[in-house]
Structure 1
Amino acid sequence: MSVTASQVHGAVQTLTQSSDTLFLLLGAIMVFLMHAGFAFLEVGTVRHKNQVNALVKILADFGISALAYFFIGYWVAYGANFFADAQTLSQGNGYELVKFFFLLTFAAAIPAIVSGGIAERARFYPVLIATFFTVGLVYPVFEGMIWNGNFGLQAWFESQFGYGFHDFAGSVVVHGVGGWIALVAVIFLGMRKGRIRAGKHTNFAPSNIPFLALGAWILCVGWFGFNVMSAQTLNGISGLVAMNSLMAMVGGIVAALIAGKNDPGFIHNGPLAGLVAICAGSDLMHPIGALITGAIAGALFVYLFTYLQNRTKIDDVLGVWPLHGVCGAWGGVAAGIFGQTALGGLGGVSLTVQVLGTVTGIAVAVIGALIVYGIIDKLSGLRLSEEDEFNGADLAIHKISSTSED
C-alpha cells in the first residue's frame, strides 16, 4: 500500500505536536516543582513557630491561583477560556491545555513570591483572597500586554522605537511584578513584633539552614525548565538560554559569596538573584554578559536586603523585593544592555524600550497591589493579632506546630 504525501505530512505534524506537548509538560512539571523550593526556602528562613504556615501557604496559594487563572486570568491575558467540550479542548494533542499548565506555574509564582515577604504576621484567608485577585487580574494585565500584545503597548513600542519589550522568560513579567506586589503587601503589614529593641533593629536568625539550602537548590534546578522551556516548542529550544542561565547563576553565587561575607543565607539566595535577572535576556546575551548580569544581581540583593533589614521599617522577611522586584527590574534593563550586538548579544532589542517596559510593569504591579491589599486591609485586616503573632502562625492558624511536643 502506497503512502501519500498528505499521510506523511499528517504523521509528521502529529509527531511534532506530541513532542511539543510533552516538552512543555515537562517544563510545567519542573516549574511546578519550584514551588516546593519556594516553600522550603521560606520554611528554613522563618522561625520555628511559623514553619507549618509557610508550607501550607505555598500549597494553598497554588490551589487558589489555579482557580483564579483558569476562570479569569488566562482569559484576561490571552482571550481564551476552557468552556468548550473536552474533545475540542484536546485537539492538537492537548497542547493548549499544557500551555495553560505551564503559564499557570508562572502565574502562581506571584503569591509564592509575596508569601516570603509577608511571612510570620499575615492572616491566612485575607491573603488567599489577595492571591485570587492578583493572579486573576493584576498579573494577567501586564502578562497580556507583553506576551500577547494586549492594549497596543508592544505595537506602540515597535512603531516608536523599532522594537518591542523583550522579556523571554519573565524577569519583569513574573519576578518584577511579584516582587513589587510583595513590597506593597509588606508595607501594609508593617514590621514584625520584636524587630526593634532599645531603638535598634534586631534580625531573627533563620530557623533551619539545611531547609533554606534545599529550597534554593530546588529552585535552581527548576529554573532551567522556567527559562529553557519558555521556548514552548522543541523547535525553539536554545542551548544559549541554558548556558546563560548557568552563567548568571554562577555570577550570582560568586557575588553573594564575596558581598555577603560567607553568610549561607546570602550565598543560597545569590544564584536565585542571578537567575531572576537573566530571565528576560537569556535568549539574547553572550554568556559573559549573562555572568555580569548575574553578578550585579547577586550584589544588589545582598546590599539591598542588608539595608532594608538594618536601616528601614520595611520588614521583608525573605528579601523578596530585592530578589525578585529589584533584580527582576535589573534583568529587564540588562537585556537592553547586554543583548546589543556591540556587547556580543544577538541584537533586536532597545535599551529605551526595556527601561520603559520595566517601569510599566512596576507601575501595574504597585497600582494593582495598592487596590487589592488596600481594600482587603480596610475590610478585614491583613495582620494577625499581637497575641497570635507572638504564639506563631502555626498554632494560631493551623492549630499544630512543626515539631512534636515529646
Structure 2
Amino acid sequence: MEALQSGADVFFVLVGAILVFAMHSGFAFLEVGTVRKKNQVNALVKILSDFGMSTVAYFFIGYGVAYGVSFLASAAEISGMTGELFAANGYDLVKFFFLLTFAAAIPAIISGGIAERAKFGSQLLATAVIVGLVYPFFEGMVWGDTLNFQGMMEAMFGAPFHDFAGSIVVHAVGGWLALGAVVLLGARIGRYRKDGSAVGIPPSNIPFLALGSWILCIGWFGFNVMSAQAVDGASGLVAMNSLLAMVGGLLSALLVGRNDPGFVHNGALAGLVAVCAGSDIMHPVGALAVGAVAGVIFVKLFVVCQEKWKIDDVLGVWPLHGLCGLWGGIAAGIFGLEALWGLGGVTFLSQLVGSLIGAGFALVAGFIVYGVIRQFLGIRLDEEEEFRGADLSIHKISAYPEEDLTMK
C-alpha cells in the first residue's frame, strides 16, 4: 500500500506538471494573437526559449535557493532507490518538474509586457537571473523556510501567509517584475502621439488570442488542484473555486469591457490568477466574488495603465498578473475567513502584509535586474529593428514566409 501511494503521488504530480507545462503554449498563443504579425514568430520562440533557460537555471541554482536541495548526486539516490534524502519512485524529481513549470511562468508573464521591442539575448539573460535567483528566493520564503518568513508572519499577525497556488508567489511576482521591465523599456514606436494620446494597436489574431486563453484556463486546473502535491490532498473545493472564479472574471470583464473579446478572454484569466492563493479555503460563492472583482480590476486598470499613465504593457500583464494577483493574496484573508464560509486559518493582516511584501520585492527586483542589463548590454531593439519587426530582425523569418515571397 505504501508503494502504491508513493506511485500514485508521483503520477498525480506528473499530470499536474504536464498540465502546467501545456499552459506555456497558452502564454505563447495569447501573445501571438495580441502582437502584430511582424512579431509573432518572436513570441513563439521567446516563450519556448525562456522555458529552456528556466529549466537549466532552476535545476542547477534556483531549486537549491528555494529549498536547499541539489540533484547533483547519483541517479539511484535522487530517484529514491538508495538513502533517505529523496522520496521513493522519483517523487522529488516530478515535484521539481511541477515547481519548474511555476518558475518558468515568470518569464512567460514578463514576455507579454515587453513584447515587440525587447532584445532576445538580453531577455534570456534576465530569465536566467530571475529564475535562478530572484524568484526562488521569494518562493523559499513562502513555500520553504527561507529567513523564517512564515514563522515571523505567524508571530506578528496570528497566521502564516497563505498562498496555496501562487497568486503572489507566481503571478504578482511575475507581474510586478514585468512592470519594472516595461517602464525601463519605454513605449513602442508610434504607440503615443506627441500630445500624449494613445494610438490604438489592435490584436493581430483574435482566434489565436482566444486559443491561448482556452489553453491557459484548462491547464489552470492542474496549476491549482495539483498544488496539493499528493493524491490524498486533492480537493474538489479547489476545482470548484477555480471554476467559479474563472467564470466570475470573464462575466464581469464581459460587462465592464462592453463585449470586447480581448477583455473577455483575459477576464477569465484574471479570475483564475486571483483565486490561486485562497482556492483551498474559500467558499465557492466567495471565489465567484473574488473572480468578478478581478475581472473589473483588469479591465479598468488596463485602460488606465495604457491611456492615462502611458505604460505600454502590451498584454496588460501588470494589471492581469500583478494587480489581480495582489488582490487574490489579500482576498484570501477576507473570503478565507470562517465568518464568510471559508475554512479559516488565515488573518487579513497576514495576507495584506505578505502580499505587499511580495509585490514590493518583485518591483524592486525588476528595476534592478533590467536596469543593470540595460546599462551593460541594452534591453531594447534599435529603431530600425523594431520597425522591421522582431521576426525578421532576430529570427530572419516571418510568420507567413509564403506571403513575403508572393509580395516580392
* Aligned residue among 62, 65, 69 for 1:80: 69
| 1:278 corresponds to | 275
AA paired with 1:124?
A: F
How many residue pairs match? The answer is 395
| 1:382 corresponds to | 379
Q: Give me the whole-angstrom Cα distance separating, in 2, the residues matched to 1:325 and 1:206.
A: 22
Indicate the SS of the match to 1:227.
helix
| 1:324 corresponds to | 321
Q: Give me the whole-angstrom Cα distance separating, in 1, the residues matched to 2:207 and 2:162.
A: 36
Q: Give the CA deviation at 1:197.
A: 2.5
Alignment partner of 1:166 is 2:162: yes
Q: Give me the whole-angstrom Cα distance separating, in 2, the residues matched to 1:383 and 1:257.
A: 34
Indicate the SS of the match to 2:10.
helix
* Aligned residue among 351, 355, 358 for 1:358: 355
| 1:69 corresponds to | 58
| 1:8 corresponds to | none
| 2:12 corresponds to | 23
1:49–1:393 CA contact under 8 A, matched in 2: yes
1:203–1:309 CA contact under 8 A, matched in 2: no
Q: Give the CA deviation at 1:296.
A: 0.2
| 1:33 corresponds to | 22
Q: Give me the whole-angstrom Cα distance separating, in 2, the residues matched to 1:286 and 1:394.
A: 46
Q: Decide which moves more: 87-96 or 359-368.
A: 359-368
CA-to-partner distance for each residue in 1:78-97, whole Å, 9 max, x for gaps?
A: 00011110000111000000
Q: Give me the whole-angstrom Cα distance separating, in 2, the residues matched to 1:216 and 1:89.
A: 36
Q: Give the CA deviation at 1:198.
A: 4.9
Q: Give the CA deviation at 1:309.
A: 1.5
Q: Give me the whole-angstrom Cα distance separating, in 2, the residues matched to 1:196 and 1:265.
A: 21
Q: Give the CA deviation at 1:360.
A: 1.0
Q: Give me the whole-angstrom Cα distance separating, in 2, the residues matched to 1:220 and 1:345.
A: 24
Q: Give the CA deviation at 1:355.
A: 0.6
AA paired with 1:365?
A: A
1:50–1:392 CA contact under 8 A, matched in 2: yes
| 1:14 corresponds to | 3
Structure 1: 4+ residue segments shifted above 6 A = none
1:252–1:297 CA contact under 8 A, matched in 2: yes
Q: Decide which moves more: 121-130 or 364-373.
A: 364-373
| 1:338 corresponds to | 335
Q: Unmatched 5+ residue regions in structure 1? A: 1-11
2:27–2:109 CA contact under 8 A, matched in 1: yes
* Aligned residue among 121, 129, 142 for 1:133: 129
Q: Give me the whole-angstrom Cα distance separating, in 2, the residues matched to 1:83 and 1:108.
A: 21
2:275–2:290 CA contact under 8 A, matched in 1: yes
| 1:5 corresponds to | none
| 1:183 corresponds to | 179
CA RMSD in angstroms, aligned pairs only: 0.7
Q: Give the CA deviation at 1:160.
A: 2.1
CA-to-partner distance for each residue in 1:172-201, whole Å, 9 max, x for gaps?
A: 000000000000000010000011225221
Q: Give me the whole-angstrom Cα distance separating, in 1, the residues matched to 2:128 and 2:322.
A: 20
Alignment partner of 1:112 is 2:101: no
AA paired with 1:289?
A: G
AA paired with 1:265?
A: G
| 1:9 corresponds to | none
1:44–1:211 CA contact under 8 A, matched in 2: yes
Q: Give me the whole-angstrom Cα distance separating, in 1, the residues matched to 2:77 and 2:263.
A: 49
* Aligned residue among 235, 238, 245 for 2:232: 235
CA-to-partner distance for each residue in 1:330-367, whole Å, 9 max, x for gaps?
A: 00000000000000100000100001101111122122
Q: Give me the whole-angstrom Cα distance separating, in 2, the residues matched to 1:49 and 1:284.
A: 45
Q: Unmatched 5+ residue regions in structure 2? A: 81-87
Q: Give me the whole-angstrom Cα distance separating, in 1, the residues matched to 2:361 and 2:308.
A: 27
Indicate the SS of the match to 2:95.
helix
Q: Give the CA deviation at 1:370.
A: 1.9
Q: Give the CA deviation at 1:311.
A: 1.4
Indicate the SS of the match to 1:197.
coil
AA paired with 1:229?
A: M
Q: Give me the whole-angstrom Cα distance separating, in 2, the residues matched to 1:196 and 1:104.
A: 38
Q: Give me the whole-angstrom Cα distance separating, in 1, the residues matched to 2:333 and 2:159.
A: 11
2:34–2:203 CA contact under 8 A, matched in 1: yes
| 2:246 corresponds to | 249
AA paired with 1:81?
A: S
Q: Give me the whole-angstrom Cα distance separating, in 2, the residues matched to 1:286 and 1:362.
A: 26
Q: Give the CA deviation at 1:74.
A: 0.2
Q: Decide which moves more: 363-372 or 333-342.
A: 363-372
Indicate the SS of the match to 2:76.
helix
* Aligned residue among 346, 369, 372 for 2:369: 372
Q: Decide which moves more: 357-366 or 67-76.
A: 357-366
Q: Give me the whole-angstrom Cα distance separating, in 1, the residues matched to 2:16 and 2:126.
A: 27
| 1:156 corresponds to | 152
| 1:90 corresponds to | 79
| 1:58 corresponds to | 47
2:158–2:350 CA contact under 8 A, matched in 1: no
Q: Give me the whole-angstrom Cα distance separating, in 1, the residues matched to 2:366 and 2:300.
A: 25
AA paired with 2:238?
A: V
Using the size of structure 1 for normalisation, the TM-score is: 0.97
Q: Give the CA deviation at 1:66.
A: 0.4
1:227–1:241 CA contact under 8 A, matched in 2: yes
AA paired with 1:187?
A: V
